């Protein structure tokens, strides 16, 4: 536990300068290059729900940097343990499953995270590390954007020598529950990491959108009442574990603070609790004049538990060891919160009723 604490706290300094988190040159350059592809936005309207080139461009301008920084902090506190660093040092390829990927934000935050570990000698390798990404989203424009952004990022990474290679392994245009069917038919049968970032509200509150976008959609979440969707999403996450690497898996759910109750409610294990936190970020958006901004959010990190290191039919999500005892936890402004299921009424049903 002590080593976990040291690693995480020292990792913060890679992205945090003068008391505020900032994006790296890699992410800044990626953002600068991909913005040339999109119309110049005149407002942040629809930036939260990218679905076409206009809203994707708005997302990159207004939200992309802040989301990157939030994911970076969560990664520092869920993947700073010795097991992760040893695994990243030895494995040849890491497969990432990016659910509800949008423009690819979570995957690119992870690529930058790994590059930071490599450049600061937390990961020591004799050969390049390959990151293969599987993107899933309802919106075809988002999948196309995520692929394009990956190609741009690949070109930028070439400036850093032979540290890291990235590629798109597959793209799934489907509702979230149908991901399992496509994983079953994909040439990639196992993932090491899974991200579900800033997507619980569209899945659980506006899940019926899948019925409008995909003809003959059979996703049970899309067909269900909003108050029934968390249990169905939990069942999906449990079944998805069949495709997790039985020797190493890390999963990160991250959400805006107001939707924090959705995280533990939709997870299969009652032992998994949400972690609320906040961070001071450098302001990187045109509609804010302050130099820094305080950003609250919530997240949960877990891994799948397999018996005898063999893939079972129903592996169970378990809390990450480095997060089990908050007294020794390392995240600044982090605190555990056990959220009663009664808050589901306010978090889902009431929200749905008011629009």
pLDDT band at 119 (very low <50, low <70, confident <90, very high): very high
Rounded Cα–Cα distance for residues 277 and 271 (Å)? 19
The more confidently predicted of residues 192 and 259 is: 192
Question: Any idea which of 22-26, 36-40, 60-64, 324-328 has the lowest mean pLDDT?
Answer: 324-328
* Under 8 Å between Cβ of 30 and 108: yes
On the question of pLDDT at 1 being above 50, the answer is no
For the chain, what is the domain count? 1
What is the arithmetic mean of pLDDT over 227-251?
Answer: 89
According to the model, what pLDDT value does residue 205 have? Answer: 80
What is the arithmetic mean of pLDDT over 35-56?
Answer: 92
Handedness of CA 115, 156, 170, 129 (dihedral sign): negative
Give Cα 179 distance to the centre of its chain.
Answer: 16
Average pLDDT, the chain: 85
On the question of pLDDT at 53 being above 90, the answer is yes
According to the model, what pLDDT value does residue 339 have? Answer: 54
Question: Any idea which of 100-104, 206-210, 269-273 has the lowest mean pLDDT?
Answer: 269-273
What is the arithmetic mean of pLDDT over 255-268?
Answer: 80
Exposure letters 200-230 (e unless 16+ CB within 10 A, then b): bbbbbbebbbbeeebeebebbbbbbebeebb
Phi, psi of 129, rounded to the nearest 5 degrees? -100, 130
pLDDT (tens digit per residue) in 9-29 = 678 889 988 889 999 999 999
| Cα separations in angstroms, 218 against 54, 178, 214, 223 | 29, 8, 9, 8
Which range marks the domain in which residue 174 is found?
Answer: 2-353
What percent of the chain has pLDDT above 70? 84
| Cα separations in angstroms, 319 against 78, 247, 265, 269, 346 | 10, 16, 15, 9, 26
Encoded tokens for 82: 């010795």
On the question of pLDDT at 340 being above 60, the answer is no
Look up the pTM and report it.
0.91
pLDDT band at 324 (very low <50, low <70, confident <90, very high): very low
What is the arithmetic mean of pLDDT over 59-66?
Answer: 96
pLDDT (tens digit per residue) in 173-227 = 999 999 999 999 999 989 999 999 999 888 888 788 888 888 888 889 989 888 7
* Under 8 Å between Cβ of 233 and 266: yes
Rounded Cα–Cα distance for residues 64 and 149 (Å)? 12
According to the model, what pLDDT value does residue 141 have? Answer: 96
According to the model, what pLDDT value does residue 282 have? Answer: 95
Q: 90, 292, 108: which is closest to 197 by C-alpha?
A: 108
| C-alpha torsion angle, residues 214, 52, 99, 134 (rounded to 10) | 100
């Amino acid at each position: 536990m002590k080593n976990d604490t040291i690693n995480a706290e020292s990792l913060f300094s890679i992205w945090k300068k003068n008391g505020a988190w900032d994006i790296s040159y890699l992410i800044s350059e990626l953002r600068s290059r991909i913005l040339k592809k999109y119309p110049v936005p005149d407002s942040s309207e629809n930036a939260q729900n990218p679905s076409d080139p206009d809203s994707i461009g708005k997302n990159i301008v207004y939200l992309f940097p802040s989301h990157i920084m939030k994911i970076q902090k969560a990664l520092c506190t869920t993947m700073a343990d010795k097991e992760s660093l040893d695994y990243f040092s030895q494995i040849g390829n890491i497969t990432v499953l990016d659910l509800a990927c949008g423009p690819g934000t979570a995957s690119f935050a992870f690529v930058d995270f790994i590059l930071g570990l490599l450049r600061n000698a937390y990961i020591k390798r004799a050969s390049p590390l390959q990151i293969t990404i599987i993107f899933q989203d309802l919106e075809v424009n988002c999948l196309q954007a995520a692929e394009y952004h990956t190609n741009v990022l690949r070109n930028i990474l070439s400036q850093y020598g032979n540290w890291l290679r990235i590629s798109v392994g597959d793209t799934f245009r489907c509702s979230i529950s149908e991901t399992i069917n496509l994983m079953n038919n994909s040439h990639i049968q196992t993932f090491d990491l899974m991200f579900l970032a800033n997507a619980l509200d569209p899945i659980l509150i506006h899940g019926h959108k899948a019925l409008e976008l995909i003809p003959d959609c059979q996703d049970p979440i899309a067909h269900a009442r909003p108050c029934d969707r968390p249990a169905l999403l939990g069942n999906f996450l449990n079944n998805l574990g069949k495709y997790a690497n039985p020797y190493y898996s890390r999963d990160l759910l991250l959400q805006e603070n107001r939707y924090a109750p959705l995280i533990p409610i939709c997870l299969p294990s009652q032992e998994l609790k949400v972690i609320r936190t906040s961070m001071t970020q450098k302001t990187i958006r045109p509609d804010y004049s302050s130099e820094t901004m305080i950003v609250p959010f919530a997240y949960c990190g877990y891994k799948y538990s397999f018996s005898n290191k063999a893939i079972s039919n129903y592996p169970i999500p378990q809390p990450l060891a480095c997060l089990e005892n908050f007294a020794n936890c390392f995240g600044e402004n982090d605190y555990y919160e056990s959220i009663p299921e009664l808050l589901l009424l306010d978090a889902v049903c009431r929200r749905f009723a008011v629009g």
